[in-house]
Structure 1
Amino acid sequence: MSLPATTRVAIVGAGPTGLTLALTLAEAGVDFVLLDRQAEGANTSRAAVVHARTLEVLDELDPATCAELVRRGTAVTRFRIRDGADPLATVDFDGLPTAHSYALMVPQDQTEAVLLGRLHALGHEVHRPYEVTAVSQDAAGVTLTTATGETLRAAYAVGADGMHSTVREAAGIGFTGSAYGESFVLADVTMAWTPGPREVSLTFGAAGLTVVAPLPGGRYRVVATVDDAPAEPGLPLVQALLDARAPGQATVTDVVWSSRFRVHHRVADHYRAGRLLLAGDAAHVHSPAGGQGMNTGIQDGHALGRALSRALAAAPTTATALDEALDAYEATRRPVALRVVALTDRMTRIATTRNPALRAVRNTLLPLLARVPALNKRLATELAELNYR
């Protein structure tokens, strides 16, 4: 699609965060342009869980869209923690105060496809491939320049363009935090898995953290910490990891897709600098433990869409009302990111400790704590992100 000359809101990045922001603006009747540097959307699974609070947000945006996503996914109500083959604790999602008392396992490409389908139904498209290489702002608006030299003028620009955000760099906003030492293996596999497809399994071990989660179509997602993972982990490596960390429980027959990545835990110092705003991975990145990343980003997109709609409605009235509407976005969402980063960091460090004494304490305390109903429900509520309503 050709790039228009002007718009009210320019959204850089058409992942789940950018798509949700676009949908929220579309529903409010706010003009926007959604750009992405990729020629097409995601065709790999990447993030694979949609939590209860995110489903509530999507339900609010459009019940049919939420229903379609649920139809494409697998609902799981149990989160099991093990050390090797030994169960330590079970966290139950059923019974939570929500219409979606489960974790929905669904590949990210399906989540994006459902959101994009709704965007098309509302008469909008993603402008591809447009790589934004420069962003500048002045008192009247923002100018975005693409790699091809084309420009787009907007009242506001949102960086939903990931950890290496061009918009965040242009805004001069710091990204405080650091990286974990380990790399992560990510693989979607077909396999015989003894615990079966009705739970997400988080396995501790001296060699590192391993997560196995069911996906639609009989597949499983495997996430594992490895000191130095290869770029494309193959079947022998995935099988060896599971043999070492979950002995006798897995027989892998095929690796459908695999990757490696390194994880940072960082939060942007601010979510707004004048007319530039941040959402999703441009604003926060963290460990995949608990599957919080995409969920927090989708909720950012919805909250920012509402804030921008209020701000643009207030603009003809007073500048103060406009600033208050936009500042409320950071005031609401940045504390959520800080809390998510703290939670996932604790989970990762507890799971990956190699100190024998700490492991013994962990393995003794976890079963006791998990049997306390109030604590079990509290952890389930936190993982489901229902505390962020």
Structure 2
Amino acid sequence: MDDSEHGIVIVGAGPTGLALGAELKRIGVSSLILDRLAVGANTSRAAVIHARTLEVLEPLGVTAELLKEGIVIPTFRIRDRSRILASVSFADLHTKYPFTLMCPQDCTEAILARRLESLGGVVQRPCEVVEIRPGENEVEVQFKSGGEVRTMHAQWVVGCDGMHSIVREQAAIPFLGGAYEESFVLADVEMDWPLGREEVNLFFSGDGLVVVAPLPGNHFRIVASVTEAPPEPSIADFQQILEERGPEKGAMTIHRMAWSSRFHVQHRIAKSMRQGRVLLAGDAAHVHSPAGGQGMNTGIQDAIALAGALKVTLQGNVTALDAWEEKRLEIAHSVVKMTDRMTKMATASSSGVKILRNAVVSIIGHIPFAQHALAEKLSELDNR
């Protein structure tokens, strides 16, 4: 058993954990990141980076590289089949980044990991945390590494370890909310697509929602809700979804699938993001529907804000983490509320509700102020 002392231990090396570790290093605070995987994940998963995230990552020095690797999408459209209900332009947002950036999560993680390493940080792999024991002045962390169970002590432990967070579980922090009945399927494909590569489209359908977004490398991301997802969603599954829910005219043929997955979505928020010396960020603190592409963005923003709060806390400001928690919980509740509304609205099956929904969205789509407000909300600029 090793017994070592660390100031800050971060559990989980996804985008949230990597952003937190790198930002702490940049502002002169050391930390140790533990991750249970031997190597980082190599699939694209979350692919949307919003304007506010690009802003908060700018001081870290990774925004330019993200822009180089991703593709800029200036428009988000909501459709009922071929009919455009609303077009949301990001072009007039008050930011240096008036657009949505599509960049696969594995690429985002690689960029954050390189920045962490350039600042002298490392990720300890594979290290599976099995128990944490919070105390008044420190947290004891037990983890498996190299076939042994080891122990370390930290001033602060931050759970960035996802929806099934061992840190949240061990700290006995309630994760409040529920689950959607629908399953979701996801794929990155090469295909003929009649609507081009300048817009992200959300299609309403009585059969469920489907989102189609361009990705680098001439790929498209497809995300759809389904009643019951097959274990390994196939090209035929996604082709059928597009034909039933997508545009009614134009070539729409999938030629190749890079990868696919299925997942269930919950809408939950931790009762608190801080309990003593244990902190939560990202999916460990809040999970929700993928509608609007908010998840990874909210987690990264949690992390960047937390880095600053931890620094001033270490300097003696005992209220900084309380202020951080209050603000980030407020944002989490707002995001979960918005994505829940979008999901329920997009998956409405009643013909009467669908007619009313389409009418309301169409009205919003013709009011410039409402369009701008929605663009601000989606881009997370109202989190400033």
Give, as a single letter, the amino acid of the residue that structure 1 aligns with 2:122: E
* 8 Å contact kept, 2:281–2:299: yes
Q: Residue in 2 aligned with 1:189?
A: 189
Instruction: Give the match for residue 318 of structure 1.
Output: none
- Which residue identity is paired with 2:369? A
Give the counterpart letter for 1:239 in structure 2. Q
Q: 2:103 aligns with which of 102, 106, 112?
A: 106
Distance 1:118 1:155, change over 3 A: same
What's the offset of the Cα at 1:61?
A: 2.2
Among 329, 333, 343, the alignment partner of 2:338 is 343
Q: How does 1:22-41 map to 2 (within 5 A)?
A: 22-41=21-40
Q: Which TM-score applies when normalising by structure 1?
A: 0.96
Counterpart selection for 1:280 from 279, 282, 292: 282
Matched residues in 1 for 2:80 and 2:156: separation? 49
Q: CA RMSD for the aligned pairs?
A: 1.2
Residue 19 of structure 1 is matched in structure 2 by 18
Give the alignment of 1:171-210 within 5 angstroms. Answer: 171-210=171-210
Deviations 1:153-195 (A, max 9, x none): 1101000001111111111110100000000010000000100
After TM superposition, the runs of 4+ consecutive aligned structure 1 residues lying more than 6 A away are none
Residue 137 (1) aligns with residue 134 (2): yes
Residue 116 of structure 1, CA deviation: 0.6
Instruction: Give the letter aligned to residue 43 of structure 1.
Output: N
Task: State the aligned residue count.
Answer: 379
1:158-169 correspondence runs (5 A): 158-169=158-169
Which of 121, 126, 129 aligns to 1:124? It is: 121
Stretch of structure 1 that moved more, 25-34 or 348-357: 25-34
Please state whether the residue corresponding to 1:150 is helix, strand or coil: strand
Structure 1: unaligned runs, 5 residues or longer: 315-320
Instruction: Looking at secondary structure, tell me which structure has more helix per residue.
Output: 1
SS of the counterpart of 1:21?
helix
CA distance in 2, matches of 1:104, 1:231: 30
Bigger shift: 343-352 or 81-90? 81-90
Distance 2:95 2:27 in 1: 25
Match of residue 266, structure 1, among 265, 268, 273: 268
Residue 384 of structure 1 is aligned with which of 376, 379, 383?
Answer: 379
The one-letter code sitting in structure 2 at the alignment partner of 1:349 is: K
Structure 1 pair 383–4 and aligned structure 2 pair: CA distance change class (3 A):
farther
Q: Secondary structure at the match of 2:140?
A: strand
Deviates more, 1:342-351 or 1:140-149: 140-149
Instruction: State the distance in 2 between where 1:4 and 1:213 align.
Output: 48
Counterpart Cα distance in 2 of 1:381 and 1:139: 41
Q: How does 1:62-81 map to 2 (within 5 A)?
A: 62=61, 65-81=62-78
Aligned partner of 2:304 in structure 1 is 302
Amino acid aligned to 1:178: G
* Displacement of 1:60: 2.4
Shift of 1:35: 0.6
After superposition, the C-alpha distances for 1:305-360 in whole angstroms (9 at most, x for unaligned) are 1111110111xxxxxx32x1111111110000000000000000110000100100
1:359 corresponds, among 349, 354, 358, to 354
The 2-side partners of 1:367 and 1:274 are apart by: 47
Tell whether the 8 Å contact from 1:3 to 1:127 is kept in structure 2 after alignment: no
- Percent of residue pairs identical: 50
In 2, the alpha carbon distance for the partners of 1:133 and 1:216 equals 38
- Cα distance in 1 for partners of 2:64, 2:217 equals 18
TM-score normalized by the length of structure 2:
0.97
Structure 2 residues without counterparts, runs of 5 or longer: none
2-structure distance, mates of 1:152, 1:55: 34
User: In the alignment, does 2:150 pair up with 1:150?
Assistant: yes
When structure 1 is superposed on structure 2, of 126-135 and 357-366 the one drifting more is 357-366
Aligned residue in 1 for 2:9: 10
CA–CA separation in structure 1 for the residues paired with 2:254 and 2:223: 14
SS where residue 267 of structure 1 aligns?
Answer: strand
